[in-house]
Amino acid sequence: MAAAVAAVFIVLSVAALPVLDRLSPPDLSRYHDTSPVVLDRNGEILRAFTVEDGIWRLPVAYGDVAENYIKQLVVFEDKRYWTHGGVDPLALLRAVFQAAAGRRIVSGGSTLTMQTARLLEPRPRTIPSKLIEIFRAVQLERRYNKEEILQIYLTLAPFGGNLEGVRAASLAYFGKEPQALTPAEAALLVALPQSPTARRPDLYPDRARAARNRVLQRVLPEDIAREALGDPVPQRRNALPFHAPHLAQRLVTEDRGMEKAHFTYIDRSLQSALETLVENFAAQLPAQVSAAVLVTENESGRVTAYIGSAGFFDERRSGQVDAVTALRSPGSALKPFIYGIAFQDRIAHPSTMVYDGPSLFGGWAPRNFMREFTGDVTVAEALQESLNVPAVKLLDGIGPARFAAILEQAGAPLVFPGGAELPSLPVALGGAGIRLESLALLYTAVARGGDVRRISYRRGETEDTEARPFLSEEAAGWLTQILAGIERPAGFLPESFSASRIAFKTGTSYGFRDALSVGFSAAHTVAVWVGRPDGAPHEDFIGLDAAGLMLKVFDRLRDGGFEDESSGLKIRGYGDAPAALRRYPLLSLLSPAAAAGGENFRILFPPQNAMLSVDQSGGGYNPVILEAGAGRRPLTWMVNGRPQGISRLESRFAWHPHEPGAYRITAIDATGAHDSVDIWLSE
């Protein structure tokens, strides 16, 4: 009777299928609701995330599964799979007669397509449910080819606990991708979905082994099956890959679930080696001290390793805080860019003599780290020794607001204490917040010869991104020459004996809260931070300690074949300073008026509190012409604290607003003098 009902249902379903298919399409939402995965540059998993109900359901392609698994699955579950139309009448009738005879059910009559339908829309095992599965199976065969249907099954099949899909099961039980399954491993994964809880190998290894062996003996030739029967059954679950967890979380959170696969430029072998290196380094530090490392390729800006902490699950070190993106004080790590801009502006030369001695800047008297002064030194020596007074003098000549604007235009914004809109001279010594990834971007630009290109984490992000000028090639070459001459910390070979030349700079923040070191070789830039994530001081560690970790990272890059030792740094010799730059002035280059903000330099248009009307044209608003009077070119223009552009020769600048509203316009000249006005735009 049941067989007749099923037969009639099949005939009617096929006849009405075109109409029913339009009215009630199959629900593929469970198939599409897969675990977000973050992949390295070779497609290997860095980290995966469960779906909302806590299930590991990793996406898998039909072609990424071992052929021997597919063959065993089809022979064991549905030997006529490749020829039937979703329902196998012979198997269905056999199941019905077995049930009627009261014998043990060897086969439930469900084809792989019917099982796929049940996985897509789970229902109680009743006769009405079976009829719906039959209809859905025929429907699936109408819409998809055999490989596509199997791919759905391979994604949704249950394998015990919170594992769904052959990829999650293969990684959890065997620590490998399903493409590499052996015959014995494949047989176990064929057997598990029939009874995933009762046959879990980590809980019931004997049952799992017996089920696996039945598959082997039934589907494989005797000699192959005999050999596979001796293979052990895994008795514990492996943790799924867990590398670059901070980056993975960042990418998935930023994407808001729109993408299921996130492709990065991370190299998993390098990432894994550096994670171990950082953990071992931190193990020698106090329990609350952590560390972070970022490795980028100089030419492309691609990030190949990203370690946000010394241990993601280390609560003592606040391991889930991502120190790559956290705002930290850079200490002296910003000094090279002060010098680079001074070189570019022609207010200093590496051989310029500068006085390192007691100096007063508006009531502030900076001192050196060792609290001693050196006297006359060259600018190059001042940078190599990280002397504070010369750096502040040069920043005073550039103007701290202009310096900050240039960094922000390069893609490395600073955050100033107390929410201040414009910086002051202590920026030279770390008196601002910056992210480690922003420091890496700036040093990568120097290594590249002065052009900046944004750092890229996702594959494809840099393909259409052109490099922009940050420093002149000459200034970058001089900086590289100077930084390559900095003495390495104790215990490391001097630069002249090292296998690869590295230019680097360290930084120690006020109160010993942060120790940083950023360096570059011909191929890579490595940025390192060491400190307490809560910002508490740790006086036993300074920038040189971070430099030690940085140099070990470079050693790993070289040992792993990532470094091309035949290529060298883009250095440039500098010789003697021209006559006009032989000595840096003892006093500030700025006039008292310019240093105070400039009585002569001011914005001429728009005036303070102006209310301007703007018209739309071509999908945007017409430009507002900004104009400043007096001042030394170039002029940097900022709107609401963000750089908009530079007037190199003229006093005017065309600003393109995005919407009406209140704005603060700021102009900064080459000496650092600045003026601001508040305006209101309306349509």
Active site residues: 77, 332
Rounded distance between C-alpha atoms, residue 495 and residue 507, angstroms:
20
* Token pair of 188 as six digits: 């176990």
SS3 string, 253-309, reads HHHCCCCCEEEECCCHHHHHHHHHHHHHHHCCCCCCCEEEEEEEECCCCEEEEEECC
* 515 DSSP β-pair partners: 508, 530
Q: Is residue 606 reached through a cis peptide bond, with omega within 30 degrees of 0 on the bond before it?
A: yes
Distance of CA 282 to the CA centre of its chain: 22
Question: Quick check: 553 and 529 in contact, CB under 8 A?
Answer: no
> Checking DSSP bridges between strand 451-452 and strand 434-435, what pairing results, if any?
unpaired
Q: Which of 348, 530, 339, 516 is nearest to 430 (CA)?
A: 516
Strands 610-613 and 674-682: parallel
Task: With residue 70 as reference, give the H or E element that holds it.
Answer: helix 67-77
Question: What 3-state class would DSSP assign to 576?
Answer: coil
Asked if 338 and 479 count as a contact pair (C-beta separation under 8 A), the reply is no
Pair of tokens at residue 97: 């007669």
H helices of 144-267, in order, are 146-156, 166-174, 183-191, 205-219, 222-229, 245-255
Residues with Cβ < 8 Å from 655, sequence gap 6 or more? 623, 624, 625, 626, 637, 639, 644, 645, 665
For 348, list phi and psi in degrees, rounded to 5: -155, 160
Reported as type and span, the H/E element at residue 390 is helix 388-398
In degrees, rounded to 5, the angle at the alpha carbon of residue 514 between the alpha carbons of residues 511 and 515 is 115
Query: Is the separation of the CB atoms in 298 and 522 below 8 Å?
Result: yes
CB 516 within 8 A of CB 496: no
Residue 232 is classified by DSSP as P
- In three-state secondary structure terms, 449 is coil
Query: Hey, CA dihedral for 139, 144, 145, 149, is it positive or negative?
Result: negative
Query: How many Cβ atoms are within 10 Å of 274's Cβ, its own excluded?
Result: 26
Q: How far apart are CA 157 and CA 171, in angstroms?
A: 15
Q: How far is CA 162 from the centre of its chain?
A: 28
616 CB-contact burial (10 Å; exposed 0-12 / middle 13-18 / buried 19+)? exposed
Q: Which residue has the tokens 């509190």?
A: 609
